[in-house]
Amino acid sequence: MTPLAAFFAFLLATSLHTCSWVFPGGSPSSSSSCEPPAVFFQRSGPKRVTLTVCVGPFCDSTSQTLEVLEPRPRILRIDPQPQAAYDDEPVILTAEATGKPALAFSWRLPDGSTLSGNPVTVPAEKLSPSSASVRLTVTNLSGSAARTFTPKILSPSPRVRSVTLSPNPAYPLSTITATAEATGRPPLTYRWTFPDGQIVAGPSVAWTVPDLQLRSYPVVLEVSNASGAASTRRSLRVLAPVALRSFEPVCPGACIFQVGQAVPFEISTTVATPRFEIDWDGNGIYDETVTTLTPTHSYASPGFLRPRARLRLPDGRTEVRSTARILTITR
């Protein structure tokens, strides 16, 4: 303690002294009593209270920040446990709220019944995926606050969300991939039944198309768990068997290339050692014979072109395939 502070403490203990209080925003806003009356603040927030004590000509001041709280209830958040629940299991709801104690918590459930307390356990099957809104009301002597909260409620029974067959349509003897997405309580069992009667298990499976006739066939999926089963079907279109499957340019986005730029192509075929005649301009004149499945070609002039390829089969038949996309050649 410094000598001056020690001297002031001595005077305060042995001499008459006066006090001066300042309460910004309070009622009263100030006081000259060393034992001031109760102060009431109309608004919440930090309040800086200052006290000045004088002994004769000697005075000293100190300030302290007082945090004035809002007496009315305010709901900060509601937490469910578990975060995502099935409708056949209970859910624990816990709320965090502020306000002058004591606080009363009332939870109104979708069926109109109420639960009191914090936390509360919502019985199984009181909430469902289509009806899960809970309204919480917190009250005290200063007022009330309410909030509607919808926890994530899932159905334990299987439900198929999506099924994809790729490629579709497909050629005989080609391989397709069947993929599904389903919801429900794990573990889920996926059971695919394909047109030839073959059954394959798993959420994503591969199946080789047998030598089927040209038409559409059903692919059936059944998803099951301990709570039940759900099934769906998709139509797979089988194409006529061909040797020349596709002839397409490899385009980085739009099929636009400049004059003189090498344009890459891809050919798909079932022939082991094929020879292709290529009509690069699509004008009916076959310009070049290639044996590669990835030929390239550079164009000397601009235009809008649809090239085509012709495959000669051992039995003398020919198959022709034009590109599905139009090439744009620019200068």
Task: Answer whether 188's CB lies under 8 Å from 217's CB.
Answer: no
**DSSP for 223-238, written as a single string:** EEETTEEEEEEEEEEE
pLDDT tens per residue across span 153-170:
999 999 999 999 999 999
Does residue 31 have a pLDDT over 70? yes
Does residue 11 have a pLDDT over 60? no
CA angle 72, 77, 79 (to 5 degrees): 140
Rounded mean pLDDT, 199-214? 96
Between residues 106 and 1, which one has the greater pLDDT? Answer: 106
Structure tokens at 295: 């030929």
Domains of the chain: 3-68 (2.60.40), 74-154 (2.60.40.10), 159-238 (2.60.40.10), 244-330 (2.60.40.10)
Does residue 4 have a pLDDT over 50? no
Q: What is the mean pLDDT of the chain?
A: 93
Grade residue 88 by pLDDT with cuts at 50, 70 and 90: very high
What are the CA-CA distances from residue 329 to residues 178, 222, 257, 259, 280 (Å)? 38, 50, 5, 6, 12
Question: How many Å apart are CA 8 and CA 234, to the nearest integer?
Answer: 93
What is the enclosing helix (H) or strand (E) of 12?
A: helix 3-14
Question: How many Å apart are CA 193 and CA 305, to the nearest integer?
Answer: 43
In degrees and rounded to multiples of 5, residue 257 shows phi and psi of -130, 160
Edge-first strand listing for the sheet containing 104-108: 114-116, 104-108, 134-140, 143-149
**What phi-psi label fits residue 117: left (phi over 0), alpha (psi between -120 and 50 degrees) or beta?**
left
pLDDT tens per residue across span 43-81:
888 989 999 999 988 999 999 999 888 899 999 999 999
- pLDDT value at residue 227: 95
- Mention every residue, 6+ apart, whose C-beta is less than 8 A from residue 252: none
pLDDT tens per residue across span 208-245:
999 899 999 999 999 999 999 999 999 999 998 889 99
